[in-house]
Structure 1
Amino acid sequence: MTILPLYAVAHHAEQVTDWIWQAFGDGLPREFFASIVTHSQQPDALPITFVAVEGEQLLGTVGLWRCDLITRQDLYPWLAALYVDESARGRGLAGKLQEYVMAYAARAGYSELHLWSACRDFYERYGWHDIGDALEYPNKTVHLYRYSLTGSAGLTTE
């Protein structure tokens, strides 16, 4: 299994678009997600989409975005659109995709990442810290998480 930027295997863009639209669309048009995917394929720029592949088989995707929650534009950047194909679940791929984005963001000089989720208890397993609730448009309560990318994250100081 290899994790690559989507621009390196751009022929997977349509499948990535379908995945995130079906998983996160909630009434939004497919074109909305196609625009996100199209504009997330520039080297060294945000947003950026990554994919996990095994040979030519697409296993999962994740993004590093400027903003993933319009009501919290003060937070930056975001781990977003994490999706693992049903056939690849149960192999730890969600954790590997997160770790890849965390390492990429740290190398890019970011000190923390954010994400939102409608569910609880999944991201805490990977070291994310719940920082409260927020509102996803138009009226959905979601849970906010922060992950520190600094070397001193989680250390006790006096």
Structure 2
Amino acid sequence: MQIVPLYQYPQYAERVIDWLWQAFGPEQPRAFFADIIHHSQTPGALPLTFIALDGDKLLGTVGLWRCDLISRQDLTPWLAALYIDEVARGKGLGGIMQEHVMGAARQAGFDALYLYSACRDYYERFGWGYIGDGLEYPDKTVHLYHKAL
């Protein structure tokens, strides 16, 4: 298995867009997620989208973004849009992908990462510290996390 920037394998972009749209925002147009992915494929620049591949099988995706929560633009960068295909879940890939983004953030000169989630307990298992609640547009309470690098 390898984790690589999506820009190295653009043939997977449509599937990543579908995953993000279905998992994180079916109430929003698919074009919104396509725009995010389109603008996250510039080598050496944020935002970045990574994918996990086993041969030619796409297993998951995760992003390293400047901001993932519009109400908290004071925090940067963010681990964002972690998604593992159903057939690959329960095998530790989520943790591996988090570590990959942490390494990419360190390499880019950052000393911390942030993320938000509607769930509790998952990210705490990986050492993320809960720092309070935030507001996802327009009125959904989410949990904010911090990880020192």
The residue number in structure 2 matching 1:38 is 38
The two structures, once aligned, show a CA RMSD in angstroms of 0.5
The residue number in structure 2 matching 1:71 is 71
CA radius of gyration, larger in: 1
Structure 1 residue ranges (4+ consecutive) displaced by more than 2 angstroms after TM superposition = none
| TM-score, scaled relative to structure 2 | 0.99
SS of aligned partner of 1:94: helix
SS of aligned partner of 1:60: strand
| TM-score, scaled relative to structure 1 | 0.93
The residue number in structure 1 matching 2:97 is 97
CA distance in 2, matches of 1:91, 1:109: 30
- 1:30-78, Cα deviation, whole Å (9 max, x unpaired): 0000000011011000000000000110000000001100000000000
CA distance in 1, matches of 2:119, 2:95: 16
Give the alignment of 1:128-147 within 5 angstroms.
128-147=128-147
The residue number in structure 2 matching 1:86 is 86
Query: Identity of paired residues, percent?
Result: 65
Displacement of 1:26 in angstroms is 4.3
Gaps of 5+ in 1: 150-158
CA distance in 2, matches of 1:133, 1:26: 23
23-32 or 120-129: which moved more?
A: 23-32
Displacement of 1:112 in angstroms is 0.3
